[in-house]
Amino acid sequence: MRRLVVIDAPSNLGLRPPTEGSVPGCYKLAGALREQRLVQRLGAYEGGVVVPPRYDRGGWREGDGVFNAAAIATYTRKLADRVEHHVRAGDFPVVLGGDCSIQLGASLALRRIGRYGLVVIDGSADFRHPGNSDRVGAAGGEELALGTGRGQRDLTDLEGLRPYVRDEDVRVFGIRDYDDERAELTELKIMNATVGEIREWGAEELAGAVLRTLEVPVTEGFWVHLDADVLDPSVMPAVDSPDPDGLLPDELAALLRTLVRSERCVGFNLTIYDPDLDPDGSCAALLADLLQEAFARA
């Protein structure tokens, strides 16, 4: 049985500030989940903290590319070192973000080892890049594009390993039915399923079918990336972009447990939940419950 190892990755470098002079509160995510006794509830081992550089956009202006790019590149390598160590040791890293740019650390780590797939469970595709937008800047909304090699080389080609994950090895769940980036994903043959399609097919059934495409020997395994904004704002308002028509907890639970319990799944990360927007802690409690259920021994 693999050891679960909880690693804190409290980086908010990839998000725009919520108000002038402030910083995104998602860096408190790991602390809030630890307050819910997540490590103990998972029966996990302690993996420590990977401390991020300071959030400082300096004189960045629209059109300058990705802000905090140098800091994100530095942090991606640092987080990749930690993740790589545990994956090579046969552990199962559970990485608590942070914004979605932390996923680059996991993808770089796995790219160093071999060829791995990526399952994205997210309310948006995070596929903004210079080829489809003139508002490139926040890596937290661009990490899938960056991870598949689209965007500036100081983020897409670290250690000469571009792309960190191939298009054909990506699976996307939970984007809204009205997602503007879906057409491009489909054109690129990046498998994707909207909330409506998940409901039509059934979350567990669809996840199981997709899982079979990830358990073929062409890859050595896969990583699961969960953005809390995949959930509907009625149950998860504590995110920076609470778009309507998201998944409900039972639907997300079915996806998660089917995927992370696979022997081919090598790690997991959680992102975007912002404790500043959750004064009573109810959203943290929901996420902790979902993760405990997903990782419960079958």
The CA distance from 164 to 76, in Å, is 12
In this prediction, residue 1 carries a pLDDT of: 67
Q: Tell me if residue 241 falls in helix, strand or coil.
A: coil
What's the pLDDT tens digit per position in 187-215? Answer: 999 999 999 999 999 999 999 999 999 98
The CA distance from 285 to 279, in Å, is 12
Q: Tell me if residue 54 falls in helix, strand or coil.
A: coil
The CA distance from 60 to 190, in Å, is 32
Q: Tell me if residue 270 falls in helix, strand or coil.
A: strand
The CA distance from 105 to 195, in Å, is 27
Q: Tell me if residue 240 falls in helix, strand or coil.
A: coil
H or E element in which residue 244 lies: none
Q: Tell me if residue 19 falls in helix, strand or coil.
A: coil
Q: Divide the 298 residues of the chain into consecutive groups of 10 and give the mean pLDDT of each group.
A: 94 95 96 98 98 94 95 98 98 98 98 98 96 96 98 98 98 95 95 98 97 93 98 98 97 98 97 98 98 86
Identity of the residue numbered 124: S
Q: Which domains does the chain have, with CATH numbers?
A: 3-295 (3.40.800.10)
The count of other CB atoms within 10 Å of the CB of residue 21 is 5
**Is residue 192 exposed (0-12), middle (13-18) or buried (19+ Cβ within 10 Å)?**
buried
H or E element in which residue 33 lies: helix 29-35
The pTM is what?
0.98
Beta strand ranges found along the chain (DSSP E) = 4-8, 45-49, 92-96, 117-121, 170-175, 191-194, 222-227, 265-271
